Structure 1
Amino acid sequence: MTISKFTCSTAFLLTLGLLTGCSEDFLEEAPADQITDANFYQTETDAVQATTAIYGELNKEGQYNMAMWAFDMWADISSTGADDGNDGKEYKQLEAFSIPTTNDVANRLWGGSFVGIQRANIVIQKVPGIQNIDPTVQKRCIGEAQFLRAKYYFDLVRAYGDVPLFTAPPTSPAAVNIPRTPVAEVYKQIEQDLIDAFGNLQPAYTANADLGRATKWAAAGLLAKVYITEGKKTEAAQWAREVINNSGKTMWANYADNFKVENENRNDKESLFEVQFVNGRNPADNPYIRNTVGSAMNEFFGPRGANQTPGSGYGFNIPDPDFVDGYEAGDTRKAATIFVPGDVFPDGAKQSAKATGSKLGYNVKKWFVGKVNTQIWDSGLNVPTMRLAEVYLILAEAVGPTAEGREAINKVRRRSFGLPINTASAARDLTTTNPTEFTEAVFRERKYELAFEFDRWFDLKRRGNAYTIQRMTEQAALLKGYESSPHGIPTENNLLLPIPQSEIDANPGLVQNPGY
């Protein structure tokens, strides 16, 4: 599914001011005064449009076009970079663990996620009552809404802790002002949504217009990730095996193939779910916008001033030196993930050994597409949010240093060294049977396999607050004198994002996280 090819009207948005319109400005929208909540949900087209609108927040600033970037820069693999002024102050506040309740990451992640959740709630409520619809499409739409509601809530509960739990559209302004729901109850709903979505979703799509929609394997993979995050290893292993054994998915032989426009939305290959981006659709009169359908990562993460992107690159999200030095010799993921000094750009120029915001000449390469067109924040490279490689690592973590667990992690390791994935390697295979050593190896593998896919902070957090504080204290010492906005040292009171102050002001039922 190319999400940008669909539009939605204000007809299926809440009238409480919770949601904003989702037209992408390149398709005509039906006049709002001719469509109402009462007459919109009548046809299959209505159902599909309403469902498509739920995806619309994924490629905006509240998700993968700004806020989600923070969860690597906040962690121990990268730093804000850019220049020494106010660029990226929202990320620098996180790095310093000096986070105001007005922090832009906290505000946008909260707002964007709840927009998506409320759109999902509307679909789950309205679509079952549509009569003029193919039952298969009806079931699929409900499953997509369940999957996406779970995804948005998974992001929220990991970032903020307790959050308000909405499972139906609020019916009045007062119904919006509910208190925060305990984490365990939110996770229970996430689990149920994904189990239901697995039963409702299709295994694959053949029509080009539907490629990119959530499948049952996206739901199964995310459910395995939810369970491992909760520490429910038996359930995580069960769902990881479901994906591995039954999805028909295979890993790319070449790691870098995961991050190429020409390989997007393949039913047979590694990606289980991708956030869709399309270039060439940003408005010509306002190219500096991250709330349409083009990705800004090519520009923001591109080497600053290198003239390799339409805006010459901003140099955000700089890989930390200890992370770069931690790659094993021969690991092909390094060349696919990071620009290092001497790397040759498409025009023949070379990466500098020192640049503004990157004292050692490191930049993120994973989302680089170069000068794809003249639009400045407008890459069409999708972001895979679940890959088969991660499912193997979830299985390995869940079952430990058993034969099954070692084979799962070793498939990922073999690929990283350019070896046949299913053939044992005496040189590269992990053989330890020590549970502690094996757990460390799995988390290390996640660190390098999923680098700059915006998951590292959550991996630290699920190892416990004490571990996170210790790791970030070590990182602050390692980076002293290296960067202009060094990592601070956290306490238990700033390991969660603050509830946005605007939400606290508007909702007397909300209680702020401790320390803010």
Structure 2
Amino acid sequence: MKATKYTLGVLAVALSILSSCTEKFLAEAPVDQITDANFYQTETDAIQATNAAYSELTKEGQYNAAMWAFDIWSDVSSSGGDSGNDAIEYKQLEAYSIPTTNFIATRLWGGSFVALQRANLVIQKVPLITNISADIQKRCIGEAEFIRAKMYFDLVRAYGDVPLFTAPPASPSAVNIPRTPAAQVYAQIEKDLADAYSILPASYSGADLGRATKWAAAGLLAKVYITEGKKTEAAQWARTVINNSGKTMWANYGDNFVVANENNNAKESLFEIQFVNGRNQYDRNSVGSAMNEFFGPRGLNQTPGSGYGFNVPDPDFIAGYESGDTRRAVSAWVPGDVFPDGSKDPSTPITGSPYAYFCKKWFVGKVNTNIWDSPLNVPVIRLAEMYLIVAEAVGPTTEGLEAINKVRRRAFGLNYNNPSTAVDLTASTPNFINAVLRERKYELAFEFDRWFDMKRAQTLYPTLTDHALIPRMTAQAAFLQGKLPNVHGIPTQNTLVLPIPQSEIDTNPGLVQNPGY
């Protein structure tokens, strides 16, 4: 899939129903249009339809804008950008002053539902195709179930109760259904992933690299269960991946974020968002990643457009790295770091980043002349996270300690299979679960998980009111005068979910807005 990159993607999978005032026209099968009547006939049609569901992952509703918010909204980073309304959609989140028209809330909702409805079409139509091999038929259905589960997992964590569709709406009016209780949504996610695990292949080769495997389904299911607090099930599925997938962690943490290492079946990644370059210039709804440019050091000429400086690391986040943790140099630029051209990150404030910190994890430099167009994939699930899920699920047992310590040893440049008195946690480590959550914070930094972690661990509200983030907020607010009042706001219990987009409320009378909006 990295090679074909969804070029078949949006091949009219969002099919329209044509109308006419004459019976003759309605009686004739259109020969120059792709419709339900002439699509979903062959194996190629099934693959194209499945690719169309994947295609939303590279767009603004997912990993080219919306998902960035979940580190910016947490204690990892701030919006950055220029003055005025630059990055206003993220500044609104930071201020916990989120209008129901917020771009992030609107695009995450819309993009996720587009993808899951395309997946619904695959699940409904592909079983009816006769001109298809059994293996491809099963694979397409399993991939669609994985995508539907992934989208619903994002939606239910971000909005709470959401409308649950397990089939394409039969008519335009059938779209307007009320919100389904979150527990039912989670039950469907669990079902989809368990089924996907049972029918998806263990690996791919060639142009199919990047498709969801059974290990991607198992890994996401472990993540779903730990989110729900179902620790026994979470540990079971994480162990399934660790013990049976054949995956191993890279010896070097930074090797996870190198173009040459993408989709390596022998290593750490379980599922990646597939980006390629050379096909777009200023387009976050195509197949190139905009993160190299948007997150690049602002105005310092290290990227094709000289960098926009979004998603800047927070001072307390940088200060939290332990001495010797190699992940800092992979994830963030700090003053004194040397850029590829030999210049250094300056020690003076830069617009949007008063401490001259910048996100480095998705940096590829001047990869080409196209500005919003990086080829670097985004790992959604990695083997390291499976170890951290086991540690959180089983606590400071022998198994749990070894699991978290593998991740820590690798972080400090050590052989992760060899015990180390210097970095290993022990049974006497205080607040072990907090230690696991802290390890997730630094292991998965800028991989867009932190806000979800803080929310599920019920640490978001206390942290943002009582933690040393308050001095950071004060310093940033002083620096960012004129952008927004109270740039780093204090959340309330009513703002721990996003608002249902106003455009959806306006068109669907069955939707009820989240409290506080």
Asked if structure 2 preserves the Cα contact closer than 8 Å seen for 1:301 and 1:364, the reply is yes
Give 2:23's aligned residue.
Answer: none
Asked if structure 2 preserves the Cα contact closer than 8 Å seen for 1:122 and 1:169, the reply is yes
Change (3 A) 1:159 1:32: farther
TM-score by length of 1: 0.94
Structure 1, residues 456-503: CA drift from partner, whole Å, max 9, x if none? Answer: 000010012xx3211112323432123426310011111100000000
**1:504 aligns to what SS in structure 2?**
helix
Structure 1, residues 25-66: CA drift from partner, whole Å, max 9, x if none? Answer: xxxxxx993322111111110000100111100000000000
Give 2:52's aligned residue.
Answer: 53
| Aligned partner of 1:470 among 453, 459, 462 | 462
Give 1:26's aligned residue.
Answer: none
**1:80 aligns to what SS in structure 2?**
strand
Give 2:136's aligned residue.
Answer: 137
Asked if structure 1 preserves the Cα contact closer than 8 Å seen for 2:257 and 2:361, the reply is yes
What is the distance in 2 between the residues matched to 1:238 and 1:232? 10
What is the distance in 1 between the residues matched to 2:245 and 2:186? 25
Asked if structure 2 preserves the Cα contact closer than 8 Å seen for 1:16 and 1:173, the reply is no
Change (3 A) 1:16 1:235: farther
| Aligned partner of 2:392 among 381, 386, 397 | 397
What is the distance in 2 between the residues matched to 1:501 and 1:359? 34
Change (3 A) 1:14 1:181: farther
Question: Which consecutive unaligned segments of at least 5 residues does structure 1 have?
Answer: 18-30
What is the distance in 2 between the residues matched to 1:213 and 1:57? 14
The letter of the residue matching 1:317 is: N
Change (3 A) 1:182 1:500: same
What is the distance in 2 between the residues matched to 1:32 and 1:213? 32
The letter of the residue matching 2:119 is: A
Q: CA deviation at 1:16?
A: 7.5
Q: CA deviation at 1:8?
A: 4.0
| Aligned partner of 2:408 among 400, 413, 424 | 413
Give 2:499's aligned residue.
Answer: 498
Output aligned runs, 1:58-77, within 5 Å.
58-77=57-76
- Higher mean C-alpha deviation, range 323-332 or range 425-434: 425-434
Give 1:23's aligned residue.
Answer: none
| Aligned partner of 2:446 among 452, 458, 462 | 452
What is the distance in 2 between the residues matched to 1:447 and 1:294? 26
Q: CA deviation at 1:361?
A: 1.2
| Aligned partner of 1:231 among 229, 232, 240 | 229
The letter of the residue matching 1:141 is: C
CA-atom RMSD, angstroms?
1.4
Q: CA deviation at 1:174?
A: 1.2
**1:481 aligns to what SS in structure 2?**
helix
Give 2:213's aligned residue.
Answer: 215
What is the distance in 2 between the residues matched to 1:375 and 1:11? 27
Q: CA deviation at 1:349?
A: 1.2
- Over the matched positions of the two proteins, sequence identity in percent amounts to 72
Give 2:338's aligned residue.
Answer: 344
What is the distance in 2 between the residues matched to 1:419 and 1:348? 28
Change (3 A) 1:193 1:279: same
**2:51 aligns to what SS in structure 1?**
helix
Does 2:437 match 1:438? no
Asked if structure 1 preserves the Cα contact closer than 8 Å seen for 2:153 and 2:189, the reply is yes
Give 1:488's aligned residue.
Answer: 489
Change (3 A) 1:432 1:479: farther
| Aligned partner of 1:276 among 266, 274, 294 | 274
What is the distance in 1 between the residues matched to 2:127 and 2:373? 37
Q: CA deviation at 1:15?
A: 2.8
Change (3 A) 1:229 1:132: same
Give 1:22's aligned residue.
Answer: none
Q: CA deviation at 1:433?
A: 4.3
Question: Which consecutive unaligned segments of at least 5 residues does structure 2 have?
Answer: 19-29
Structure 1, residues 263-300: CA drift from partner, whole Å, max 9, x if none? Answer: 00011110100000000011xxxx22100101000000
Give 1:356's aligned residue.
Answer: 351
Does 2:306 match 1:315? no
**2:283 aligns to what SS in structure 1?**
coil
Q: CA deviation at 1:352?
A: 1.3
**1:111 aligns to what SS in structure 2?**
helix
Asked if structure 1 preserves the Cα contact closer than 8 Å seen for 2:6 and 2:51, the reply is no
Q: CA deviation at 1:12?
A: 2.6
